Amino acid sequence: MNKLYILILLLFVGSFSKAQSFCDNNGNIALFSNYDGGILRINVDVNIPNLKIGIVSYENDSVILTGPFLSNVTQVVYAGYFVSSNVHCSPQPKTKTINGAPAGTDTVIYYPTATYNNSNGWPAILCNYSCDINSNQGGCNTADQIADYFFNVFGSTKFLFHYTQYGCWTGIHNISAGGNCCAIAGAVPPAAAFQADDSSVCANNCVFFTDNSAGNPTSWKWTFNGGTPATSTAQNPIVCYFNAGTYDVKLVVSNSGGSDSSDMTGLITVFPSPPIPNLYLSNDTLCSSIDSSGYTYQWYKDGVVIPGATGPCLVITDPCSNYDLAIKDSNGCQVAVGINTICAGMNEYGSDKNLIIKPNPVREQLLIYGLSGDFKIYNIMGECVYAGTKAEARDVSVEASGWPAGVYFVKLNPEAGDSVIKFLKE
C-alpha cells in the first residue's frame, strides 16, 4: 500500500470531524482505527458492563489497556494488516500486541474479509482513517465497513462509539471521551422537519419546538434568531422570546448517513406586551393610568376575579385587601399590576362618643378631640402616616396639608384595635 497516495487523498477530501460523541449511550462496543498504528493506550475509566473493544490499523500497533473498570472488558479484537517495513511512528511496535486485557479476551486477526461491501472501501479489513463513507478511501476501509465487521465479530450492534484518525496514536484514550464517528452499514441521511407549538406569542413568552424529522437522526443543531437560547442541541428545545419582532428558526439533523436541514423564515412572530400601568387612588376609587378602548381590563381581589370589574377604574368598598389589574391588548398580550393592602372603605367600628374629628373633610389642619390613649392615622394603602402617643394632650392638632387627597382612618389604641374613625382629605 502506498502511504503517500493515501496521505494526498486525505488532504484532498479534508479531515474528519474531531468532535467527541457517543453513538448509543447504552452501547458497549468501542472502536479505534487509524493507518499509522503506534502505541494505543486505552483507559477503561467508566463502568460499562460487557465492554467490547475493536482496533483496526495498517501498520503495527501495541495496544495497552488500563483503568479502574478493566475487568468489565470481555473482548478485545485487533483486525487489520501489518508490514514491518512500514514504520512511521516512534517508537513503532515490531508486532501486533494486546497488553493488559483480561485473560482470554484478546484476539489478533490478520486481514479478514469485510462483511459489508462499500465500493469506496477495501474488500478486506485493512485500515481506516475517516468517518467518510461516500468518498473513495484510497485503499483503506470505509467506517461503515469497520462497524459492520465488528458487529459480526461481537454478535451485537450496541455501538458506543468509533474513534478514527490517520496518524500515530498519541496520549491516552479514555472510554469516557467517546469518539468522532457513528457510521454504520446502510445508513441514510435523515430528513429534517419540525414544528412550533405556537408561532405567534407575546414578548416574554416561550415556545416549545418538536423535532419531526424522519430517518432517525442522532444529533440536532437548532438556531433561533432572536431567541434565548440562540442555539440548542436538544431534540425538543424550549426557547423564550423577550423582544417583539419576526424571527427565523433553523434545524440541522444528522446521523451516520449524513445531514439535512430545514430553515423556516419568519416562523415566529412576537408581539410587544402592553405598557405596565400605574395604579392611583382618588378617594375610594382605584384607577389605571392606561385608559384606552384598545385594551380590556379585569380586576381581582385577593387573587379572585371580581365579576363585572372590567373597566379601567374600580370602586373599592371591602375591608383591607390585595387588588390586581390585568390589561390585555388586541393581540391577546397581557400585563398585570397589583397593589397590596388597600383599606378603602374600612368600616368604622367600636364606639367612642367622646372622640370628635374636625373638619371632615380636612384640607390643612386635622383636629382630634377626646383622645384617651395612643392613636395612629392610616392612608387608604394601609400605611401609617402619623402616630400619636399617650403623652400627647387629650386634644390633638395634626398637620395634614402634605397628605395626598383620599380616605384616611384614625385608629385608637392601634395594638388592641379599640375603634376606627374614617375621614376624608381634600
Q: List pLDDT tens digits, range 310-367.
A: 999 998 766 567 788 889 898 989 887 766 555 543 444 444 556 777 777 788 888 8
Classify residue 348: in a domain, yes or no. no
Classify residue 187: in a domain, yes or no. no
pLDDT for res 82:
74
Domain co-membership, 62 together with 150: yes
Task: List, in sequence order, every residue forming a beta bridge with 408; answer none if it has no partner.
Answer: 379, 423
Q: 144, 177, 210 — which closes off a domain?
A: 177
pLDDT of 406 above 90: no
Classify residue 349: in a domain, yes or no. no
pLDDT for res 304:
84
pLDDT for res 342:
53
Classify residue 420: in a domain, yes or no. yes
Report the percent of the chain where pLDDT is more than 70: 86
**Domain limits at 141?**
3-177
Domain co-membership, 336 together with 364: no
pLDDT of 397 above 70: yes
Domain co-membership, 21 together with 164: yes
Please state, in angstroms and as integers, the Cα–Cα distance from residue 2 to each residue in 139, 167, 197, 338, 403, following that order. Answer: 9, 15, 56, 79, 97
Classify residue 182: in a domain, yes or no. no
Cβ neighbours for 336, distance < 8 A, ≥ 6 positions apart: 324, 325, 326, 327
More confident residue, 314 or 87: 314
Domain co-membership, 9 together with 142: yes
Note the pLDDT tens digit of each residue in 151-195.
999 999 999 999 999 999 999 999 999 999 999 988 778 899 999
> What distance in Å separates the CA atoms of residue 264 and residue 249, rounded to the nearest whole number?
5
More confident residue, 186 or 222: 222
Domain co-membership, 104 together with 244: no
> What distance in Å separates the CA atoms of residue 420 and residue 352, rounded to the nearest whole number?
9
Among 39-43, 52-56, 274-278, which stretch is predicted with the lowest mean pLDDT?
A: 274-278
Average pLDDT over the chain, rounded to whole?
Answer: 84
Domain co-membership, 54 together with 142: yes
pLDDT of 134 above 50: yes
We report the CATH number of the domain holding residue 265 as 2.60.40.10
SS (H, E, C) the chain: CCHHHHHHHHHHHCCCCCCCECCCCCCCEEEEECCCCEEEEEECCCCCCCEEEEEECCCCEEEEEECCCHHHEEEEEEEECCCCCCCCCCCCCCCCEEECCCCCCEEEEECCECCCCCCCCCCECCCCCCCCCCCCCCCCCCHHHHHHHHHHHHCCCCEEEEEECCCCCCCEEEHHHCECECCCCCCCCCECCEEECCCEEECCEEEEEEECCECCCCEEEEEECCCECCEECCCCCEEEECCCEEEEEEEEEEECCEEEEEEEEEEEEEECCCCCCCEEEECCEEEECCCCCCCEEEEEECCEECCCCCCCEEECCCCCEEEEEEEECCCCCEEEEEEEEECCCCCCECCCCCCEEECCCECCEEEEECCCCCEEEEECCCCEEEEECCCCCCCEEEECCCCCCEEEEEEECCCCCCEEEEEEEC
Domain co-membership, 136 together with 11: yes
Domain co-membership, 125 together with 102: yes
> What distance in Å separates the CA atoms of residue 175 and residue 45, rounded to the nearest whole number?
6
Q: 237, 255, 271 — which closes off a domain?
A: 271
The total number of residues shown for the chain amounts to: 426
CB 36 within 8 Å of CB 16: no
Domain co-membership, 30 together with 155: yes
Q: What is the count of structural domains for the chain?
A: 4
More confident residue, 36 or 281: 36
pLDDT of 260 above 60: yes
Classify residue 310: in a domain, yes or no. yes
Taking residues 190-201, what's their average pLDDT? 94
Domain co-membership, 67 together with 167: yes
Among 94-103, 118-127, 194-203, 337-346, which stretch is predicted with the lowest mean pLDDT?
A: 337-346
pLDDT for res 108:
94
We report the CATH number of the domain holding residue 394 as 2.60.40
pTM of the predicted protein model: 0.47
Q: 222, 237, 271 — which closes off a domain?
A: 271
CB 20 within 8 Å of CB 179: yes
> Phi/psi class of residue 354: alpha, beta or left (left: φ > 0; alpha: ψ in -120 to 50)?
alpha
State which of 143-157, 300-314, 397-411 shows the largest mean pLDDT: 143-157
pLDDT for res 393:
54
Classify residue 53: in a domain, yes or no. yes
Domain co-membership, 13 together with 47: yes
Domain co-membership, 250 together with 266: yes
Classify residue 350: in a domain, yes or no. no
